[in-house]
């Protein structure tokens, strides 16, 4: 029995990391190009957008909520950034600030519905998700945004994606892709914020026991508002990076990012035995998904099988996490 418990404890703390290492070893053995610097950089660049979205989901999870609107927020901010350049020929500062403001506004709307109107978070953010999806499709009339695209009046779009904007998603600094550097900085700052600041601790306290947090003098509603605003903001950053990486504004760009980010967050529960949402765990969860997708792609497996693999990994991570948490709860 003790050996069984020890194995559960070990798998809970280090299982995700061991799986990442095992997957890397297997794919490297099958394809020698897998463990090259260029491919590792590609993996990290690919997960950078997912990671920004997943940070938002992590923050909403910390306050015992769930933001389902992050994928639609990415889609909207991606096409807004693209149209500001291609349709309206706006400078870089406007192209970056406007999508960020949109992300904050979406976060405020979510917070209002959840905190003030008291709609359950899943229902509120689900409704907002559909509204945003409708807005961004209506705004673009269902078209993707690209350089020299034809306009409805028969003319061509006056602007194009600027090299400075594309550098954010495609450029390198000191040999490292810019999105990867931005991701590393974001993970480090959010980790420090959650671990060493009063606001970060209050987020965890609010999520752990809302009534106890209120009795302790914490402004629970304000803390929850901050979590959802930050969630919208990070999703907007993901949308900007998406547009900068592919050089166009794709309709439904964030459709697949919601589930990948949710999977990363829940896989992260078990990293180092955290047992709760945390940004370091989320990073390793996103890394695991990125490594799997990259390796399967290099093996030329059909893309429609990828979701099966991601789902299986998520089920395994959740099983290990909740078996451990239930056992710990049972033992007091």
pLDDT tens track for 208-246: 999 999 999 999 999 999 999 999 999 999 999 999 999
Comparing 312 with 197, the larger pLDDT belongs to: 197
Query: How high is the pLDDT of residue 315?
Result: 81
pLDDT at 4: 59
Of the two residues 252 and 126, the one the predictor is more confident about is 126
What pLDDT is recorded for position 231?
98
Note the pLDDT of residue 331: 65
Whole-prediction pTM: 0.93
CA distances (Å), 259 to each of 71, 142, 255, 311, 321, in order? 9, 23, 8, 10, 18
Residue 48: the pLDDT is 96
Give Cα separations from 83 to 55, 72, 129, 136 (angstroms): 26, 17, 21, 11
Burial of 298 (0-12, 13-18, 19+ CB in 10 A): middle
Alpha carbon distance 214, 115 (integer Å): 14
Tokens of 33: 């190009």
33: Cβ–Cβ under 8 A, 6 or more apart, which residues?
A: 39, 298
What pLDDT is attached to residue 324? 66
**Residue appearing with tokens 């899943």:** 122
| pLDDT for the residue numbered 77 | 97
**Buried-state track 229-258, b at ≥16 Cβ within 10 A, e below 16:** bbbbbbbbbbbbbbbbbbebbbbbbbeebb
Residue 261: pLDDT above 90? yes
150 - beta bridge partners?
A: 156
The predicted structure's pLDDT at residue 214: 93
Range list of β-strands (E), the chain: 172-173, 176-177
Q: State in words which class domain 15-330 has.
A: mainly alpha
Tokens of 311: 């789902």
Rg of the chain on CA atoms, in Å:
21
Closest by Cα among 284, 283, 67 to 183: 283
DSSP state, residue 64 = T
- pLDDT reported for residue 314: 75
What value does the mean pLDDT of the chain take?
Answer: 90
Q: 177 in helix, strand or coil? A: strand
Could you report the per-residue pLDDT of 177-189, keeping only the tens digit for each? 999 999 999 999 9
Query: Cα(200)–Cα(196) distance, rounded to whole angstroms?
Result: 7
pLDDT for the residue numbered 329: 64
Taking residues 268-290, what's their average pLDDT? 87
Give the list of residues 6+ apart from residue 24 with CB closer than 8 angstroms, or none. 34, 35, 291
pLDDT digits (tens, 9 = 90+) for 40-93: 999 999 999 999 999 999 999 999 999 999 999 999 999 999 999 999 999 999
Mean pLDDT of 3-9: 63
* Model confidence at 147: pLDDT above 80: yes
């Amino acid at each position: 029995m003790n050996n069984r418990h020890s194995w559960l404890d070990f798998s809970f703390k280090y299982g995700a990391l061991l799986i990442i290492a095992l997957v890397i070893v297997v794919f490297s053995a099958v394809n020698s190009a897998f463990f090259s610097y260029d491919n590792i950089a590609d993996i990290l660049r690919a997960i950078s957008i997912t990671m920004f979205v997943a940070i938002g989901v992590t923050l909403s999870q910390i306050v015992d909520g769930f933001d389902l609107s992050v994928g639609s927020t990415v889609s909207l901010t991606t096409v807004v950034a693209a149209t500001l350049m291609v349709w309206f020929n706006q400078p870089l500062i406007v192209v970056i600030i406007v999508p960020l403001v949109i992300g904050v506004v979406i976060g405020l709307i979510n917070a209002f519905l959840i905190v003030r109107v008291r709609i359950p978070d899943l229902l509120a953010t689900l409704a907002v998700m559909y509204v945003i999806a409708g807005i961004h499709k209506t705004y673009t009339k269902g078209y993707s945004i690209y350089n020299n695209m034809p306009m409805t009046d028969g003319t061509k779009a006056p602007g194009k994606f600027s090299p400075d904007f594309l550098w954010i998603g495609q450029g390198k600094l000191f040999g490292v892709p810019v999105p990867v550097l931005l991701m590393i900085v974001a993970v480090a700052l959010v980790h420090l914020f959650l671990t060493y600041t009063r606001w970060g601790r209050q987020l965890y306290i609010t999520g752990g026991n809302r009534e106890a947090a209120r009795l302790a003098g914490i402004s629970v509603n304000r803390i929850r508002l901050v979590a959802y605003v930050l969630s919208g903001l990070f999703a907007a950053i993901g949308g900007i990076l998406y547009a900068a990486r592919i050089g166009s504004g794709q309709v439904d760009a964030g459709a697949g990012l919601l589930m990948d980010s949710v999977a990363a967050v829940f896989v992260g529960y078990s990293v180092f035995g955290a047992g709760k949402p945390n940004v370091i765990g989320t990073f390793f969860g996103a890394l695991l998904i990125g490594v799997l997708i990259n390796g399967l792609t290099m093996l030329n497996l059909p893309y429609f099988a990828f979701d099966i693999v991601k789902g299986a990994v998520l089920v395994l991570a959740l099983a290990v996490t909740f078996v451990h948490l239930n056992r710990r709860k049972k033992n007091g």
